[in-house]
Amino acid sequence: MSPVVPEREPAVPGDWELVVGLEVHVELSTATKLFCGCANRFGDAPNTNVCPVCLGLPGSLPVVNAAAVDFSMRLGRALGCEVRGAVFARKNYFYPDMPKDYQISQYDQPTNTDGHLELPDGHTVGIERAHIEEDTGKTTHIGGGGRIHDADYALVDYNRAGVPLVEIVSRPDIRTAEQARAYVRELRAILLAIGVSDARMEEGSMRVDANVSVRPAGSDELRTRCEIKNLSSLRALGRAIVYEAQRHVELWSGGERPRQETRHWDEANGRTTPGRSKEDADDYRYFQDPDLVPLAPATGTIAAIDAALPPLPAARRAELVASGGGAVSTEDAALLVERDQDGLVRAAIAAGADPGVAATRVANDLAVDDWSPVTPEGLAALVSMEISGRLTATQSKQVLAEMADGGGAPDVIAQRRGFQAMAGDDLAAVVDQVIAGNPDAWSRFCAGDEAERKKLAGFLTGQVMRATRGQADGAAVNRLLQERAGS
């Protein structure tokens, strides 16, 4: 899971409400670009995946990639959208990374409209539309420290030009920064589940812009919003929303109003800065692209897409929680589904594993790319070894790691490593040694109130763990400490 950075939630004082809508651009993982047969591939030498069409050479014409249309409709249905006939339009503006100086997009008739996305906490965010469009090339600003305003010149690589994108536009239904992050995580989980994108924010195959505004609590007006760009991580998304919301509250409170504008998140300084000026009001002169013909899903297409959709994250979370009979936490369930490990855990539960321990162990300790060697039966065996006390939690983690590396069955690994939870008289002896060696702590433990006792139990247990090199079971140590203290 991405690190959760405290971002001073709530973002706004109690008499204000945060209003956020997200625009997420997702690159579809088709083999070829949206309108030509060039490879849709990240990381190749500049200007090698280009042809007359994606370079916008005179006389070239676009032809729509059937897979991109299919992927976009699949995504639409996964988001509960209406999927309808659509037309491609031209969005006209000049920019060096755009080969035709217009972008082929969908404007007034997009493929997907009116969907929704349910967050793991139950909050529902409306989806206004999810439309297909082509990506631009990539510009590198040279000189002036790479900053756009001081650059000496720029270089353009068109490998990305024409890569298929779907832009998913949410309704302004998001009320906290955490919800914004949860929305993006959930969207990513859906994209991965239906196999239409690798959705990596770091590589730019998933790009998030946030429309942020605030309003007095209880009002349903929509006040001036700012569009925040350059959000390259979930952390940045959360921080930027909080910063921007507070900026708006300060402006409104001081009798001013924010200007409607595009702003950039400055990660280093933790603030947003004004971006493109809007003095030449955007006039994209949209019109239907005469080089392309409308999309009209044939009868049965939507039903076939629905029938072929895999179980979606929300359903998988619910199923996992249900299979655990209440023992699997919603947090663990969310994480396991996001990592596509819910199937493993459910199978282990079916093979007799304790649901709570199985879920927690995998959620906490199996954050690796390839965990295919871990079988449900192996996981169930590991969990039962841990529960029976044959392995400590620490040992269990290590065994699981080795299982993921292809080390074999848990009992074999435990034996090879000489793992065995220390228990009984051996453990009692170590505990007594630690008590003797830390008389101050021990007396404070015996005399302290509940909080003090808890703190010191942690310290003393740590000492025992150190002495046994992690082979003690924490719960057993705690039991012994309580016994020795006579409580």
Partner 1 sequence: MTALAIAAAVKSGERTALDVVDEHLARISQRDAEIGAFNLVLADEARTAARNVDAAVSRGEPVGPLAGVPVALKDNLCTRGVPTTCSSRMLEGWRPPYDATVVQRLRSAGAVIVGKTNLDEFAMGSSTENSAFGPTRNPHDTGRVPGGSSGGSAAAVAAGFAPLALGSDTGGSVRQPAALCGVVGFKPTYGAVSRYGLVAFASSLDQIGPMASNVADTAACYEAISGHDPRDSTSIDGAREPVVAGLGQGVDGLRVGLVAELCAASARVQQDDGLDGVSAVEGVAADVIAWVDAAATALEAAGAAVTVVSVPSAVLGLSAYYLIAPAEASSNLARYDGVRYGLRVDAANAAEMNVSSRSSGFGAEVKRRIMLGTYALSAGYYDAFYGKALRVRTLMLREFAAAYADVDVLLCPTAPTTAFELGAKTADPLLMYLNDVCTIPSNLTGHPAVSVPFGSGDDGLPVGVQLMGPALSEPVLLRAAAVLERAAPSDGSAP
Partner 2 sequence: MSGRITRDEAAHVARLARLRFSDAELDELAAQLSAVLDHAADVEALDVTDIEPTSHPHPLVNVTRADEVRPSLDWDEVLAQAPSVDDGQFRVPPILGEAP
Q: In b/e form, how buried is each residue of 50-87, taking b as 16+ CB within 10 angstroms?
A: beebbbbeeebebebbebbbbbbbbbbbbbbbebbebb
Residue 261 touching partner 2 (CB under 8 A): no
Of 5, 151, 393, 467, the residue at the interface with partner 2 (CB under 8 A) is: 151
Q: First and final CA of the chain: distance in angstroms?
A: 40
In whole angstroms, the minimum distance from the beta carbon of 303 to partner 2 comes to: 17
From 298, 350, 294, select the one nearest 319 (Cα to Cα): 350
Say if residues 421 and 399 touch (Cβ distance below 8 Å). no
CB of 284 to partner 2, least distance (A): 8
What does 60 bind: partner 2, partner 1, none (CB cut-off 5 to 8 Å by kind)?
partner 1
Q: Is 108 in the site for partner 2 (CB under 8 A)?
A: no
- Does position 110 interact with partner 1 (CB under 8 A)? The reply is no
The contact mask relative to partner 2 for 262-301 (x = CB under 8 A, - = no) is x-x----------xxx--x-xxxx-xx-x-xxxxx-x---
Tokens of 270: 């933790």
In the bound state with partner 2, the residue whose beta carbon lies nearer, of 143 and 216, is 143
Select from 60-68, 171-179, 195-203, 429-437 the region that touches partner 1 (CB under 8 A): 60-68
Identity of residue 449 = D
Residue 102 interacts with which of partner 2, partner 1, none, CB < 5 to 8 Å by class:
partner 1
**Is residue 150 near partner 1 by the rule CB under 8 A?**
no
Q: Is 133 in the site for partner 2 (CB under 8 A)?
A: no
Instruction: Determine, following the binding rule CB under 8 A, whether residue 66 of this chain makes contact with partner 1.
Output: no
Are 79 and 168 within 8 A, CB to CB? yes
Reduce the DSSP state of residue 55 to 3 states and report it: coil
For residue 103, give the H/E element and its range. Answer: strand 102-106
Binding partner of residue 294 among partner 2, partner 1, none, CB cut-off 5 to 8 Å per kind: partner 2
- Tell me if residue 165 falls in helix, strand or coil: strand
* 351-387 burial code (b ≥16 CB/10 A, e <16): bebbbbbbbbbbbebbeeeebeebebebbbbbbbbbe
Interface of this chain with partner 1, residues 269 to 288, rule: CB under 8 A: 281, 283, 285-287
Interface size with partner 2, residues (CB under 8 A): 66
Q: Which stretch binds partner 2 (CB under 8 A): 24-32, 125-133, 314-322, 381-389?
A: 24-32
92 binding partner 1? (CB under 8 A): yes
From the list partner 1, partner 2, none, pick the one residue 459 interacts with, judged by a Cβ distance below 5 to 8 Å according to partner type: none
Q: Does 57 bind partner 1 (CB under 8 A)?
A: yes
